A and B are shown apart, each in its own frame.
Chain A
Amino acid sequence: MHDEYELIVIGGGPAGLGAALSAREHGLERILVVERDVQLGGILNQCIHNGFGLHYFGEELTGPEYAARLIDRLNGQAIDVLCDAMVLEIIPGENGHTLRLMSADCGYRTVGSQAIILAMGCRERTRGAIQIPGTRAAGIFTAGTAQRYVNIEGYMVGRRIIILGSGDIGLIMARRMVLEGATVVACVEIMPYPGGLTRNIVQCLQDFDIPLYLSHTITRIEGKQRVEKVIVQEVDDRFHPIDGTDIAFDVDTVLLSVGLIPENELSRAAGVEIDSKTSGPIVYENGETSVPGIFACGNVLHVHDLVDFVTTESEGAGKAAAEYVLRRIDVLEKRIYEKVSHDDVNLQSPSYDDPQKVACEAEHARASHDDVERSALIDDLSKKLVQGRSYCLSIVRDETISYTVPQRIRVQRVDKQVSVFFRVKNPQKMPKCIVFRDGERIVASFRRPYMMPGEMERVTLTREQLDDVCGNELLISVEEIR
């Protein structure tokens, strides 16, 4: 391990691995991945079921297999890995950032890095977060914790089980518990529609005749030492329990699958601006946060439905971090800018704004023999640069959309196109349009046959569409097809 790196990636799960590999591919030579578990792979290691990789690898893999493919690639590269280590603090700086970390192998260390990628993933909401009344008996687990006990440590968590929440982890665990000999009496979901993917409803609940109670929730947990009984009630459309709808279940175990929260304590302490809707950093088009040189990807940024999309997103962040580092130190490029400024063009240090293109255009301008044409080209270039720097679009949304990532787009940094991820707030079972507007005018419109809140949606805006935007706000909404 060195004292200085070009890039430190915090987290060795699918996001961190994807980001580190991509940064290496894009030219970085000193990369460190810090992982708090004793091995790389993150939560994929405990997701022993299949269904991963259809989009990214083009075949159906289990979690450990998906992780192993990335780890194999990483092992072939000159990338440092530090496992069993915890990053305590990120201290941002003008000329590079500092990390304080603690590890079993090296104790307390301070390491410098020009760029940082946040890839810490997310954690589960607990009973405390949703305030289920009742006793504090043993036998109440988050679904992911139970998954780790069973699949990694080899402990069974209970015999008669009820699951609260129909998110994918809860559904997967319902099947897993039945396969290991337990009885799953019910899966209870407060919303009127299931939270997880349809395939998981079918293959994890219906295959094993596990009843799914929609618009129901657990209102009481009873039991002295161990959970003995839970009370389930129907809820009204404001999620209030309805009197007289009580159902009692005799169970010894409650598994909670009630949502995931990006794990951003480190990011917040480093001054990274957080989106209250995603609970992840607010990012620009390339995954860069509000702190220059700190990027974010994967579930620390927003909770994804499929790991394949995490990998793709992380590759983007890795590439962006590499560009950030390499542009800062590219002496040749600096010289080109100096040459341009010699011609008395009003350029502020454009060391970071789309420099490849600028460099190219600057060379083209300088090469022109016609004085008039030459000065016109340089004028044009300088205008573009000045405009570009102040030109940042915010994506705003109406009540039909729960969030977008990225939240901001620096148009001049967009090469050809930029992907915008979002989720709809309510199920849309009929064909609808996703519309982007600046004021009244429609900038882009995308038709979708159906959209569900449990599934991430993605649309792609082109540079041309972005260049056309008036003002600095872009409104996204779900609209009827006209």
Chain B
Amino acid sequence: MKEYVCIICPRGCHLAVDEENDYAVTGNGCLRGAAYGREEAMHPTRIVTSSVRVRSRIHPRCPVKTDKAIAKSDIMKAMLLLDDVELSPPVRRGDVVIASLFGGEANFIATRDIDE
């Protein structure tokens, strides 16, 4: 049995997920909570946001994010990849900074325009 606090809405239901019983969820106030509990127990994922170096006159850092959620267990590995990145302006938000993380579908993309 794994326990979680649901984060779908501010109510914060306390969920219990039974891995030995087909990930059955109890304690949820609604169906969205059940879906969240299952996902969280089976393969938790997160969007990762950080920043990278940029050779700009005004901005020393350019913010980035993963455009899809990645496995929670990959977060620190993904962060290490950003250490070696240095961008040059112009940067447009949506520009791919690191493509296809760990061979998957998620990319790190820029989240800000940096003109010069």
Contact = CB atoms under 8 A, between A and B. Distances in A.
- Tell me if A's interface is mostly helix, strand, loop or mixed: helix
Given A68-B113, A152-B59, A62 B5 contact: no
Contact of B10 (A60, A68, A452): A452
A198 B61 contact: no
B114 to A, nearest CB: 10
A49 B50 CA distance: 7
A38 to B, nearest CB: 7
A76 interface: no
A203 B46 contact: yes
Nearest to B110: A64
B11 A450 contact: yes
Contact of A154 (B5, B6, B53, B75): B53
B51 A48 contact: yes
A207 B12 contact: no
A449 B72 contact: no
A149 B111 CA distance: 18
B85 interface: no
Given A38-B58, A152-B59, A62 B65 contact: yes
A198 B10 contact: yes
A333 interface: no
Contacts of B48: 179
B32 interface: no
B46 A154 contact: no
Contacts of B65: 48, 50, 62
A154 B12 contact: no
Nearest to A305: B10
Interface string A23-65: 0000000000000001100000100111000000000101111
Given A65-B93, A197-B10, A151 B46 contact: no
A267 to B, nearest CB: 30
Contacts of A206: 5
A438 interface: no
A136 interface: no
A199 interface: yes
Given A153-B61, A207-B72, A62 B49 contact: yes
A174 interface: no
A173 B27 CA distance: 30
A73 B17 CA distance: 45
Interface in A59-87: 60, 62-65, 68
A132 interface: no
B60 A154 contact: yes
B79 interface: yes
B81 interface: no
Nearest to A172: B49
B112 A154 contact: no
Given A50-B47, A68-B112, A203 B60 contact: no
A360 interface: no
Most chain A beta-carbon neighbours within 10 Å: one of B5, B6, B47, B63 = B63
Interface string A197-232: 111011100110000000000000000000000000
B10 A203 contact: no
Given A198-B12, A449-B11, A48 B63 contact: yes
A455 interface: yes
B27 to A, nearest CB: 14
A15 B50 CA distance: 25
Contacts of A199: 7
Contacts of B111: 48, 62, 64-65
Nearest to B63: A48
B61 A151 contact: yes
Contacts of A179: 48, 50, 75-76, 79
B61 A64 contact: no
Nearest to A454: B10
Contact of B93 (A39, A45, A64, A154): A64
Most chain A beta-carbon neighbours within 10 Å: one of B5, B10, B53 = B10
Given A68-B93, A154-B60, A202 B49 contact: no
B61 A154 contact: yes
Given A179-B50, A203-B7, A207-B46, A151 B63 contact: yes
Contact of A64 (B7, B60, B75, B112): B112
Contacts of A450: 10-11
Interface of B: 4-7, 10-12, 46-51, 53, 58-61, 63, 65, 72, 75-76, 79, 93, 111-113
Interface of A: 38-39, 45, 48-50, 60, 62-65, 68, 150-154, 179-180, 197-199, 201-203, 206-207, 449-450, 452, 455
Given A62-B111, A201-B5, 14 more contacts: A38-B58, A48-B50, A50-B47, A50-B49, A50-B65, A64-B111, A68-B93, A152-B60, A154-B53, A179-B76, A180-B50, A207-B72, A449-B11, A452-B10
5 contacts: A38-B58, A39-B58, A48-B49, A68-B112, A202-B7
